[in-house]
Chain A
Amino acid sequence: MKDTFILNILHRPEMVPEYAEKVTGQGKKEDIGRKELLTESLDIFKLQQEIAHQHGLKTTIQMTYSSLFNDEAISLAKEHHEKYGDEISLTLLGLPCKEFREKYKTKDFCIWMFSMEDKKAIVRDVFEKFHDIFGFYPQSTGSYYMDAELINFIKQEYPSVKCAVATCWEEGPKAYRTCNNSWYTFMDGGPWNPWIPSKANSHAPATNEEEDSGIVAIPHLSRDLLACFDGNGSNFGTHPQNVLRGMIYKDGKYPYLYNLIDQYRHLAKYNRGYAYNMMFVGPGWMNKAGRWEAPYELLVQSYRDCMAYYAELRDKGELVDMTMAEFADWYRANKTYTQPECALWKDILYGSEKQLFWYCDPYYRTCVDMNQGGAIVDLRPYAAKLEIPVGIGTGNVHDASYPFLVQSMYRAGYFTHYAGEGSIKSCKVSYKGEEADLCLCRTKAKFSEEGNDRILTLDPVDIEFSDLTFKVTTRFIFSEGSSEIKISRIITDMSNPDAKVHINEYITACYGTTEYPEDMNGIVLRCRGKEEEKEIVYAYKCREESVKDAAAVEAVVPQVKTKMTVYPVKGTFEGYFREGYAFSPMFTLGLNTELSNNEEMITCLKLEKVD
C-alpha cells in the first residue's frame, strides 16, 4: 500500500455544549433552554463547518438529540450533505436539552452510564427521530465510550451503523483527577487507533468474524502516546484547544500540534503504510467567553490553523479526508482481524529522547519503554475478552476500563518507596554478587517486520560490574495472531570471554484498572518442571517456589479470567514464582539462567483466557 494518512473530522451541533452552562453561565441560575446558549452553540457549529469547507475538507456531522429539535441545525446538515458530501450521522453525546430532561427525568448525559433499559430507550428514541427527519438511519454514531452491550444492541436494531466513536484513549483515573475528581470517564486500556471491537468488550479487538461486533470503532481524538500515558489525556491530542488547555503554546504558536499530527503520519511506517487521525472538537471549546485563560480569538485561530495544516497535507497528496462511513469501508477492505496496530512513539514535548513502543492486537495491548531498557510497562489481556457491563443497574456504574496485568504508572514499576515491588516486566543481570536491572539502562529501538512477525530491536546496553563489562541486546518478537511476546537477550563484548552471567527474566504483575490495589486472594501461581510441579494459591504470605529445568511458570488470575505463562523457547532455565505480601500486592514469575559470551536466550510470555 502507498502511504495513506486518513483523517476523520467530526462536528456536532450541541445545543447545550458541555462546560458552557457551568462555565459561561456562572452566576446565572441554571437554564439549559436559554436562548443565547442555543444561538451561540449553533453559531459555533456553523463556524466549525465553515472553516472545514473553506479548506475543502469533508466532515461527519454528528447530530445530537437536542439538535434534532432544531430546524436550523437540521437544514444545515441537509445542505452540507448535498453541497460538500458531509455525512449526516448521529451521536449519543449532546443528549442534554429540555426535551431530554423532561422525557428521561435525569441530568445524566453519558450513554454508557445509563441502565441498559434506558440505553435501549434512548437509542430507539434518537435513531427513530433521526429517521423521521432525514428519511434514513445513520451509518455512524458514537460517544466518549460505547460499551459492548450498547454496540451490540445498536447493531442488532440498526444494522446500517458501521462506524462509531468508541473510546477516549487512556482517559481514566488521570482525567478524573485532573478534573478535580468530577469527570467520570474511566476508560483506560483501549486501542489508540481504529479497531474492530469484539462483541464481548469494546476495548478488545475482535479475533475473527464470530467475535466481530459489526462496526469499526474510532477513538475520540488522536492522542500523544507518551504524554497521555502519564498525563491528563485532555492536554495532548488532535484537538487544538486541548493543546491550549495544556498550555503548550507561546505567543499564539503551537508547533506541538503539528508535531503530534506528523508523528501520527509517521506511524504509517509501522503499519504497512496506513496512518490515521481523528479530530472532534465539541462546540464548548470555541465559545465566545474563551476557555480558561485562552481567549475566543485564540481558540478559533487554533482551529483554523489545524484545518489549514490538514488541508495543506491533502493538497500535497499526503492526506485523505473521509467521512466515518467511508472510513469504515476503507478499514474493512484494508485490514485483517489479527493485523496489529504498532507505534514506535517518541517524546515530542519534553525534549527528551524517551521512546515507547505500543502494540495492540486482539490478544493484548502492551507498551515497551526504551527509557527503561525495554521494560514492559503496560499489559492488557485482551485474550480474556472480558465482559464488563457498565452503567446503572449493572453493579458497575462507572468503570469501563479494560484491566491491566502490568501498569507501572499506577502500580509503581521499577521504583518503589522503601519496600515492595511494582508491576513491570524486565530482566536482571548479575555476576559475582553484583546485579543490574535493565530498567536502569536507557536505550532506543528500531522496528522491522519479517513475515508475520513485528520485531523491536533495542540498541545494545552496557553493563559495568567491577569485574566484568558486557553488552546486552534485546529483541521483542510479536508474532501476529499468537497471543505471545517472545523476548531474546544476547550477551556480547564480555571483558572476560570465559565468564558466565546470570540472567533473571521476570515479570511482576497484579491486576486492576486504577491506582489502588485489588484483592489478590485466589490467584494461582504455578511452576511446571520437566519432573515436578509446584503450586500455591495467593494469600499474601510472601512464599516462593522454584523448579529446575522449567517447562513453564504461570499465574491464573481468576479476577480477570486470564492465564499468563512464561516459558523457555531457547535455553535451559530454572523457573520460579514469588507471592507478594500486604505491602507488596504483586506476584512475580521468573526464569533464571546463565549466559556465556555471544549466547542467546529466548523466553516467551503468553496470555490466554480461562473460565
Chain B
Amino acid sequence: MPQAGKGRLNYRCPACFIRELDIDMFYDKEKKEYYCLRCPFTGTEEEVLKLNEMAKFRYKAMMERITDFD
C-alpha cells in the first residue's frame, strides 16, 4: 500500500477527542478507513461522523439559548 494521506476533510480521532486530544487521522485508501496514529482507532467516514455526534453527550446545554446568568 502507498503512504497514507488526508481524506476529504481532516477528521480528528473521535476516541482521542473524547479524552481531550486533538489528533489528525490519516486515510487508508485500500481499506477505505481512517486511522489514528496514536490510539488503535479505525473507522469509516460514516462511523467517525456518528462518533463525533456522540462526543457531544456531555454538552447538555449545547443547543439552549441561555438568558439567565445568575
Contact = CB atoms under 8 A, between A and B. Distances in A.
Given A178-B22, A180-B23, A27 B60 contact: no
A249 B62 contact: yes
Interface in B34-48: 38, 48
Nearest to A345: B69
B61 A350 contact: yes
A247 interface: yes
Interface in B7-21: 9-12, 17, 20-21
Interface of A: 23, 26-27, 174, 177-180, 231-232, 245, 247-250, 253, 255-256, 258-259, 262-263, 266, 289-295, 346-352, 446
B65 A255 contact: yes
A177 B20 contact: yes
15 contacts: A23-B24, A26-B5, A232-B20, A245-B22, A247-B59, A248-B59, A255-B64, A259-B64, A289-B10, A292-B11, A293-B10, A293-B49, A347-B61, A348-B61, A352-B60
A411 to B, nearest CB: 18
B28 to A, nearest CB: 15
B63 interface: yes
Given A180-B21, A231-B20, A350-B60, A259 B66 contact: yes
A295 B8 CA distance: 10
B31 interface: no
Interface of B is mostly: loop
Contact of A253 (B17, B49, B61, B63): B63
A457 to B, nearest CB: 13
A178 B59 CA distance: 18
Nearest to B66: A259
A178 B21 contact: yes
Interface residues of B, number: 30
Nearest to B48: A293
A293 B6 contact: no
A231 B17 CA distance: 12
A255 B62 contact: yes
A289 B10 CA distance: 9
Interface of B: 5-6, 9-12, 17, 20-24, 38, 48-49, 52, 55-56, 58-67, 69-70
Contact of B10 (A177, A253, A292, A351): A292
B37 to A, nearest CB: 9
Contacts of A350: 58-61
B9 A293 contact: yes
Given A232-B20, A255-B65, A259-B66, A26 B60 contact: no
Which of B12, B17, B38, B55 gathers most chain A CB within 10 Å?
B17
Nearest to A351: B60
B21 A262 contact: no
Nearest to B10: A292
A292 B12 contact: yes
Contacts of A263: 66, 69
A410 to B, nearest CB: 14
Nearest to A355: B70
Contacts of B24: 23, 292
B9 to A, nearest CB: 5
A179 B63 contact: no
A245 B17 CA distance: 10
B22 A256 contact: no
A249 B9 CA distance: 17
Contacts of B67: 262
Contacts of B23: 180
A247 B56 contact: yes
Nearest to B67: A262
Given A248-B62, A295-B9, A349-B59, 13 more contacts: A232-B20, A232-B22, A247-B59, A250-B62, A253-B63, A259-B65, A289-B10, A290-B9, A292-B10, A293-B10, A348-B69, A351-B60, A351-B61
Contacts of B22: 178-180, 232, 245, 292
Given A177-B20, A250-B62, A262-B66, A27 B9 contact: no
Given A255-B62, A266-B69, A351-B60, A291 B10 contact: yes
Given A27-B5, A231-B20, A250 B61 contact: no
Nearest to B6: A26
A349 B10 contact: no
Contacts of A348: 61, 66, 69
A346 B69 contact: yes
Given A27-B5, A295-B9, A349 B61 contact: yes
A445 to B, nearest CB: 10
Contacts of A250: 56, 62-63
Contacts of A249: 62
A178 B10 CA distance: 17
Contacts of B63: 250, 253, 255
Contacts of A346: 69-70
A177 B19 CA distance: 10
A30 to B, nearest CB: 16
Nearest to A446: B70
Contacts of A349: 58-59, 61-62
10 residue pairs, one from A and one from B, having the closest CB atoms? A351-B60, A351-B61, A266-B69, A259-B66, A255-B65, A292-B10, A263-B69, A293-B9, A178-B20, A292-B12
Contact of A258 (B17, B65, B70): B65
A449 B21 CA distance: 42
Contacts of B59: 247-248, 256, 349-351
Contacts of B9: 290, 292-295
Nearest to A227: B59
B60 to A, nearest CB: 3
Contacts of B5: 26-27
B65 A293 contact: no
